[in-house]
Amino acid sequence: MDLDGRPDPPAEAGEKETLIGFLDFQRATLRLKCEGLTPEQLGTPSVEPSSMTLHGLIRHLTEVEVGWFVGTFTDEPVEYAYSSDENPEGDWIGLDPRQYSADLHRYDEAVERARSVITDLEPGTIGDDDGKRYTLRWVLAHMIEEYARHNGHADLLRERLDGSTGE
């Protein structure tokens, strides 16, 4: 663990363990950026003109976890909790501060589901997303990139909300 309680990615491990280690670090970073704020603050856009919020990031990444891991590596239909064809931005809009705790719980469940889906898969395992093929290696690398980009957004949002900065 590092100083903030996030898991350090392993320095000497296999490919899959290393990728998952970096992804878990990014997941923990997102949670760290949300800690200590009120539900109202978490739903407050703070970097104009963007309407992005920390609460919205939690909801968005819930759907990203489900979409990439369940949608690509299982035959299960993907059911998104927030967005739909009729409401494609549902993960970002319509936030209710009273639902933040439930939304964070749903995020944690999505992460656990993603972990369980890939437990027995090798990095070269190929999955299918709407007819396009991806290796688990590619999806893990993409998810690290997705979280890292959004954690940069989270840094700016958090700093504007309460002055907190950090890694």
| Structural domains present in the chain | 15-162 (1.20.120.450)
What is the pLDDT, as a whole number, of residue 5?
Answer: 85
Q: In the beta sheet, which residues pair with residue 133? A: 128
Residue with tokens 């999505």: 110
What is the pLDDT, as a whole number, of residue 69?
Answer: 98
d(CA 20, CA 75): 22
Q: What is the largest CA-CA distance in the chain?
A: 46
Going from the C-alpha of 62 to that of each of 10, 106, 111, 165, the distances in angstroms are: 25, 7, 7, 24
d(CA 101, CA 29): 18
Stretches where the chain sits below pLDDT 50 are none
What is the pLDDT, as a whole number, of residue 91?
Answer: 95
What is the pLDDT, as a whole number, of residue 3?
Answer: 60
Q: What is the 3-state secondary structure (H, E, C) of 139-161?
A: HHHHHHHHHHHHHHHHHHHHHHH
How remote is the C-alpha of 51 from its chain's centroid? 18
43's enclosing H/E stretch is none
What is the pLDDT, as a whole number, of residue 165?
Answer: 80
d(CA 18, CA 25): 11
